[in-house]
Structure 1
Amino acid sequence: MKMKYNLLALSVVTAGLSFTCHANESFDLQSMIAAAKKEDPIIVYAPTGKIVQQAKDFTAKYGIEAVGIKAKAPHIIEIISREAQADNVKADVALIEDAPATQVQLLKKGYVTSWVPDDMKQDISQDNQNPLTVVLAPNVWAYNTAQYSTCPITNIWQLTEPKWRHKIAMQDPLIKPLYVDTFNQMASHYDDQMAKAYQALYGKALKTDEGSATAEFVKRLAQNGPLLTKSDGDAAQAIGAPDVKDSFVGLISTAKFRENKNGMKLGICHDMKPFIGSLYPSPGVITTKTNSPNASKLFIHYLMTAEGIKLQGIDGKMSSNQKVALPAEEASGIQQYRTQLMTFKTSSLNSDWQQRQDWMDLWSLNYQR
């Protein structure tokens, strides 16, 4: 029996039923669809406005009502936490662009669960199954194609050289957890590659008093006085504006390459060592006390298909389902350089969370305007 659903109020009256998602459950899509049609409509949160249309498309496909709501990660986490604590759960599914916070603040507390469809497990890397990563967002080093025929940066350590002082644009790491998480992932899993990149560029081993090659890089980058912006759009404008007079390179989301059709001149620094950027994971989770467990799992399954994720794929966001390629109309061309991106290891999400403040402190203490 359907319960009252007020679209304007975005309110679902739930019965507080509990369920647990097991990754080894046998999967029967048709049975799930049939069960989902008997459940309440679902509310889905995500950091992109595309989720509104994705929910509408899901409803049209399955005849199961879903409403998508755009919200940033801290807001989504707060909503889910408060509803769980009040035993008044209204949210059903969430994509959260903050994997460490999702792990520590939601999954560990039992407010949400992670479910991996059995029919897709073989096509999803183990690094993206616990928790399930629905999308991987590429953030890449970029340059102005009107000023350079190829990217002037071929090695990440060049960004610390005097030539690029005040010539690097990126969002402020103090307001962009993605970047400090990237620092910790680099130090935890790729520090040997950072050290080797230094030696390849300068012909000698790195000497540092810091605890890792990555920490030395972060310190030097901060000391080089990057232009810190409040948004990807501002960083992209500094890098790729057609009439820009200063020669900037910078770190931006592939979504900003859509602006090339409007005159921007953004290019990817492909073949940059040791990697050209990173793939940041957005877990897809289901609230533990959702009143619509089958509809919620069906929505996750839908997002893991080429049809379901296409609207986000146009921005360069990649599915963790390795059978799903980016749409042809994706603007940056990142698909061909996927193997050059640093991948996140979800095994160290707890460390990413615990070390955030340390990386922020290292950045703050060394940043020079």
Structure 2
Amino acid sequence: MELNGILNNGGAHLQMKKVILRTVSLTAITTVAAVSILAGCSNTTTGGSTSTAGSTGAGGAAAKQADWAEQNGLNKTETVEELYAKAKQEGKVVVYSQSSRIKDVKATFEAKYPGVVVEAYNMTTNDIVEKLIREQGAGVYNADVVFVKDAGGTVSSELVKKNIVYKYLPSDLAAKMIEPYKSQSPGLVPYFSLRSIFYNTDANKTTPITNWWDLTTPEWKGKVMFDEPLQSADTMDLFLAMVQNAEEMKQAYKEKFGKDIVLNGTENAGYEFIKQLVKNDAVLMKSSDDVVEGIGKSTQAKPPIGFSASSKMRDVVEKKLKVNTTYDVKPRISVVGPSYLYIANKAKNVSAAKLLIRWMAGEADGQGEGFKPFNVQGSWSTRTDNGRTDQPAIDKLNVWKYDPEFFYNNAAKLREFWLKLQ
């Protein structure tokens, strides 16, 4: 169904919204294969040997990059005063950010640390991956801080493992974090969000669904909205989690319909759910904003339902949306969607980058204003000292774990499956 089809029925017409602090012209990567090709295109060949930014071939590039990280103290904990003194000499810090809320971070950081300017680029994670691979493959080191999600394990596989970005987690911040983010994460994770189900509160006093398979029934035909997965890494990650946990999806089907699932040419219950959802005339939207506003502003007697970024709950009051989300869906409500902070390889403003990451992570006491734009309803802090109390605690969330290796190895296959459904 077309975007306007469902929205116009409710008297609302929405347009795609995108906040850009600095215009960057890029073509989004929509397949893991495309990212790999870009990485291959950035290779340099000399005398018949080939080396990439993360290879251990000619020149020992990977070893040199690891030396750079150690030489620049990415494994050290320095005081804020020490970092600020050095950051003022650098004068700025360049951030590639997957969130438009970086503009709020910029404002508070520059007020806290006069003399250090935040140069912020707001892009999709796919665009950030492409830009970093192209730039560093050409010997251009523009970024200092990289703020991204993993995008189907692409960041872990194409940036982290190839030493294009590095983890920076000072000990005084790590001491306040919970596992697995304290010691097992490839980057500093200040918070995570989910892809969760939203419903219209005018038409429903409580959630109208309790099982993901509810969305495949005739009751919701043509009324389920979500971001187009080839444009939304978070939606694709949710589908990948369902494929990975197909046995749970299979059991949820039996609980819903009282019988065993019969696969219709699909590999497992995860793929079958996606197929049935699409065949139920799912409504593909351009952005998370469009999904939540389409549900919350609908005037239809039977408003649409959908799933989108859980952090959009912050818009309920501001945009006067009649919408709520549910945390009780079988087999699980969603997959964890961590947001990562990294320092880019050969960053020119390392001290300012460290200072900014500390700021965005809430600083040692958890009260740093740089974390406030992200400490919203629908996001969960990974620290023990600054979480919210108006939503379920982390240990009460019935969610799937994020598995970057599985997602990376299966993303291309799922994308091909998705394209065949269209």
Give the shorter-chain TM-score range.
Answer: 0.7 to 0.9
Distance (Å, rounded) in 2 between the aligned partners of 1:337 and 1:92? 31
Task: Give the counterpart of 2:178 among 114, 124, 133.
Answer: 124
Tell me, yes or no, if structure 1 residue 52 matches structure 2 residue 103: yes
Q: Residue in 1 aligned with 2:253?
A: 198
Alignment map for 1:263-278 (pairs within 5 Å): 263-278=320-335
Residues 1:219 and 2:269 are matched in the alignment: no
Structure 2 residue matching 1:126: 3-state secondary structure: coil
Runs (4+) of structure 1 exceeding 6 A deviation are 7-10
Change (3 A) 1:166 1:64: same
The aligned counterpart of 2:158 is 105
Give me the whole-angstrom Cα distance separating, in 1, the residues matched to 2:220 and 2:401: 27
Q: Which runs of 5+ in 2 are unaligned?
A: 1-20, 25-64
Any conservation in 2 of the 1:169–1:251 contact (CA below 8 Å)? yes
Give 1:250 deviation, angstroms. Answer: 0.4
Partner of 2:233: 177
Identity rate, percent: 26
Counterpart secondary structure, 2:346? coil
In structure 2, relative to structure 1, the CA distance for the partners of 1:142 and 1:53 (3 Å cut) is closer
Equivalent in the alignment of 1:292:
349
Q: Per-residue displacement from partner, 1:168-199 (whole Å, max 9, x unpaired)?
A: 111112222221222222333x4343233223
Distance in structure 1 (CA, Å) of the matches to 2:238 and 2:169: 25
Residue 116 (structure 2) aligns with: 65
- In the alignment, the residues of structure 2 paired with residue 183 and residue 161 of structure 1 have an alpha-carbon distance, to the nearest angstrom, of 18
User: How far does residue 92 in structure 1 lie from its aligned partner after superposition?
Assistant: 0.3
Of residues 145, 162, 176 in structure 2, which corresponds to 1:93?
Answer: 145
Q: Deviations over 1:140-162 (max 9, x none)?
A: 10111100111110111111222
What's 2:297 paired with? 241
Displacement after TM superposition at 1:70 (Å) = 1.7
Q: How many Å apart are 1:255 and its aligned residue?
A: 4.1
Q: Aligned partners of 1:63, 1:231: CA distance in 2, in Å?
A: 35
Deviation at 1:237, TM superposition (A): 3.1
Aligned-residue offset at 1:300: 1.3
- 2:40 aligns to what? none
Matched residue of 1:134: which SS? strand
Choose from 373, 384, 395 the match for 1:311: 373
Query: Which residue number corresponds to residue 3 of structure 1?
Result: none
Q: Say if 2:23 and 2:121, in contact at 8 Å, map to a contact too.
A: no
Distance 2:89 2:383 in 1: 28
Partner in structure 1 of residue 55 of structure 2: none
Q: Is the 8 A contact 1:116 1:129 kept in 2?
A: no
Question: Which position in structure 2 is the counterpart of 1:74?
Answer: 126
Contact in 2 for aligned 1:304/1:319 (Cα 8 Å): no
Once the two structures are superposed, residues 89-120 of structure 1 have per-residue CA deviations (whole angstroms, 9 ceiling, x without a partner) of: 12100111344222233222222111222123
AA of the residue aligned to 2:161: K
Q: Once the 2 structures are TM-superposed, how far is the Cα of residue 358 of structure 1 from its aligned partner?
A: 1.6
The equivalent of 2:415 in structure 1 is 360
> Does structure 2 retain, via aligned residues, the 8 Å contact 1:242–1:264?
no
Range that drifts further, 241-250 or 226-235: 241-250
Q: 1:132 to 1:350 in 2, by over 3 A?
A: same
Per the normalisation by structure 2, the TM-score is: 0.73
Q: 1:150 to 1:338 in 2, by over 3 A?
A: farther
Structure 1 residues 8, 71: CA separation in 2 closer, same or farther (over 3 Å shift)? closer
User: SS of the counterpart of 1:19?
Assistant: helix
Separation in 1 of the partners of 2:267 and 2:251? Answer: 16
Aligned mates of 1:310, 1:132 — CA distance in 2:
16
Instruction: Measure, in 2, the Cα distance between the counterparts of 1:148 and 1:165.
Output: 17
Q: Compute the displacement of 1:23 (Å).
A: 7.5
**Counterpart contact for 1:187–1:215, Cα < 8 Å:** yes
CA-to-partner distance for each residue in 1:281-319, whole Å, 9 max, x for gaps?
A: 222111110122222122112211143211122363333
Relative to structure 1, the CA distance from residue 228 to residue 317 in structure 2 (aligned partners, 3 Å threshold; closer, same or farther) is: same
Q: Deviations over 1:313-356 (max 9, x none)?
A: 23633333343214x8xxxx5456873352542xx313312322
Alignment of 1:133-212 (within 5 A): 133-188=189-244, 190-208=245-263, 210-212=266-268
Q: Counterpart in 2 of 1:230? A: 286
**SS of residue matched to 1:275:** coil
How many angstroms apart in 2 are the aligned matches of 1:310 and 1:335?
19
Q: Tell which deviates more after alignment, 121-130 or 85-94.
A: 121-130
Report the 3-state secondary structure (helix = DSSP H, G, I; strand = E; otherwise coil) of the residue aligned with 1:166.
Answer: coil
Is 1:325 equivalent to 2:382 in the alignment? no
Partner of 2:358: 301
